[in-house]
Amino acid sequence: MTTEQETEVDETSEDFNLDTGDRSADSDKTQQGSAKTKKILMIVLVVLISVSVVCYYFIFSDEPAQTNSPKIDVKAVKEEPSEIEVKKKALYLPIENDFIATLVDEGGDEHHMVITVTLMVRENESLKAIEKNKPLIINNLLEVFESQNYQKMQQLKSKEALREKALIAIRESMKSEVPAVTIESVLFTKFMMD
């Protein structure tokens, strides 16, 4: 080996030693950074587990939460009727017949109004009472429908007013026969005029 080659080898080995020294320093920094990251992850994991345990306790515990609100006597609440009552499911009773009423306009021409009626109630007892008294209800509805004025029935709000009149007439007739019956609404499932 010549001196030039030896010098190159020495420089290369020095470069290699420097690189090795740098690599070991980088490796120490990486290990220190990795250790810090592990510590942070462990802390986050412990916090998450703690929060999860606390949430589980509050959600699934049988004991009521401690509050500063006054205690309510459960027995007293159960005995008093609730102000907010849950509405029962609506029950519908269609009146099978179409109501055909003849209306006369100002010129003397006859017009026909065809209405199909369904009654809405919330109790089975009301349905039974309505079934028993259906002829009376049909009669009262016919009287209400035939007493209408043709020109007034052309207005938009007349249909709603007619529904209200029909409901009042049915309630009045049922009140005399079966006072406990409650009819909530009269629905027109068909309404035609010629």
| Secondary structure (H, E, C), 72-85 | CCHHHHHHCCCCCC
Residue 128 has pLDDT above 70, yes or no: yes
Nearest residue to 185 via CA among 114, 132, 121, 97: 121
Contact 65, 58 (CB under 8 A): yes
Contact 99, 116 (CB under 8 A): yes
Superfamily of segment(s) 91-193: Band 7 domain (3.30.479.30)
Residue 75 has pLDDT above 80, yes or no: no
pLDDT confidence of residue 15: 47
The whole model's pTM is what? 0.53
pLDDT confidence of residue 64: 52
pLDDT confidence of residue 51: 83
- Which stretch of DSSP H or E encloses residue 174? helix 158-177
Region 95-114 average pLDDT: 90
Q: Count other Cβ atoms within 10 Å, centred on residue 105.
A: 13
Instruction: State how far the alpha carbon of 133 is from the alpha carbons of 18, 48, 73, 100, 187, in Å.
Output: 109, 68, 45, 20, 18
Region 141-167 average pLDDT: 92
In DSSP notation, 28-65 reads: HHHHHHHHHHHHHHHHHHHHHHHHHHHHHHHHH-SSPP
pLDDT confidence of residue 23: 53
pLDDT confidence of residue 45: 86
Tell me the residue ranges of DSSP E strands in the chain: 91-94, 99-104, 110-121, 183-193
Contact 130, 184 (CB under 8 A): no
